Amino acid sequence: MQNDTLKCGLLEKTESHFVDTTEKEAYVWCEKDWKHDTYEHVHDRAQLTFVEEGYQYFHIDQKIYLVPQHHVIWIPSKKAHKTTSEAQTVNLMVFLFKSVFDDDFYQNVQVFAAPPVLKEMLFYTSKWNQSLEENEEQDIFFKAILKSLPNFYKESSGLEIPVPTDVRLIPVCKDINVNFKYNLDIDKLAEKATMSVRSLQRIFKKETGITLQKYLQLTRILKSIELIDTQQYTLSEIAYKVGYQSLSAFTTAYFAVMQSKPKVHKD
């Protein structure tokens, strides 16, 4: 790609390589019906993304993070990432920071639900959308948001799908992703991985940090979020489509992952 393109206030010199042309310490970039490049890219600024509407998947370090509506993701500086989404509409607010405070929080990818106070703070910044001019109030306000993030963070970072590095486990993950409606056939999965059931369970847990059953649950809940987004089905229909025999079983599983109850959004 030869032509320089401005994306999120950064100049894309070549595909996936960005140059920072502004001195501004922090700024916000909002777009309606967001269409993001699906290839991996990297930039020097740390990034906070707030999903105002829809949902977004972030692919980072062999993991896939789901960021649903009204959740945020923090991506440290120089961390390669790419995004995908099947949502009908994706409205995002992207905040880019030149420097951060000295705290472990800012060195790692973080995903969490935005509490009401943070939500209001983020919405307030929309008056500075795509403004790269110096503004004292904006600078102080963005610094306050940045400083408060570790306090807003809650232990609810269960929205990542781990990708195992052991190639024998890839067919297992693919099988679960296709057949998530059905209960696990552990013998069939062990056959696909060419290992014993006991070895499969042990190695899968070691590689991903979660059990096969938890992986299935996570996959089902992520699929349900996609179905909720279409606004075409009742919660009972969605529960059945993702493999639960009752609405209550689905609601319990959904709450365990999302820390909130599922609801169909009405416009």
Residues 6+ apart with CB under 8 A from 1: 12, 14, 15
In the chain, the N- to C-terminal Cα span, in Å, equals 40
**C-alpha span between 60 and 4 (Å, rounded):** 25
Looking at the structure, tell me whether residues 55 and 174 fall in a common domain: no
In the Cβ-directed half-sphere of 142, how many Cα atoms lie within 13 Å? Answer: 28
In a domain, 32, yes or no: yes
Q: In this structure, what are the phi and psi dihedrals at residue 52, rounded to the nearest 5 degrees?
A: -80, -35
Looking at the structure, tell me whether residues 142 and 178 fall in a common domain: no
For residue 184, the domain's CATH number is: 1.10.10.60
* Residue 134 CA: distances (Å) to CA of 8, 16, 140, 256: 17, 27, 11, 44
In a domain, 265, yes or no: no
How many structural domains comprise the chain? 2
In a domain, 267, yes or no: no
Q: Which of 80, 91, 28 shows the shortest CA–CA distance to 55? A: 91
Looking at the structure, tell me whether residues 186 and 246 fall in a common domain: yes
In a domain, 212, yes or no: yes
In a domain, 158, yes or no: no
Question: Residue 220 burial by CB count (10 A; 0-12/13-18/19+): exposed, middle or buried?
Answer: buried
Looking at the structure, tell me whether residues 108 and 36 fall in a common domain: yes
**C-alpha span between 32 and 53 (Å, rounded):** 9
* Cβ contact 228:222 at 8 Å: no
User: Which of 152, 181, 197 is the C-terminal boundary of a domain?
Assistant: 152
Looking at the structure, tell me whether residues 142 and 13 fall in a common domain: yes
- At residue 133, what is the residue type? E
> Model-level pTM?
0.75
- At residue 204, what is the residue type? F
pLDDT by position in tens, the chain (length 267): 345 566 676 666 665 666 677 889 999 998 776 666 677 888 889 999 999 888 888 999 888 888 888 889 999 999 999 888 877 788 899 999 999 999 999 999 998 888 889 999 999 999 999 998 899 999 999 999 999 999 988 655 456 778 888 999 999 998 998 899 999 999 999 999 999 999 999 999 999 888 999 999 999 998 998 888 888 999 999 999 999 999 999 999 999 888 789 988 654
For residue 97, the domain's CATH number is: 2.60.120.280
Structural domain harbouring 78: 5-152
User: Which of 152, 180, 209 is the C-terminal boundary of a domain?
Assistant: 152
Looking at the structure, tell me whether residues 138 and 172 fall in a common domain: no
In a domain, 266, yes or no: no
Q: Which two three-digit tokens encode residue 258?
A: 């999302």
Cross-strand bridge partners of residue 81: 41
User: Which of 131, 152, 173 is the C-terminal boundary of a domain?
Assistant: 152
Looking at the structure, tell me whether residues 249 and 117 fall in a common domain: no
Looking at the structure, tell me whether residues 135 and 219 fall in a common domain: no
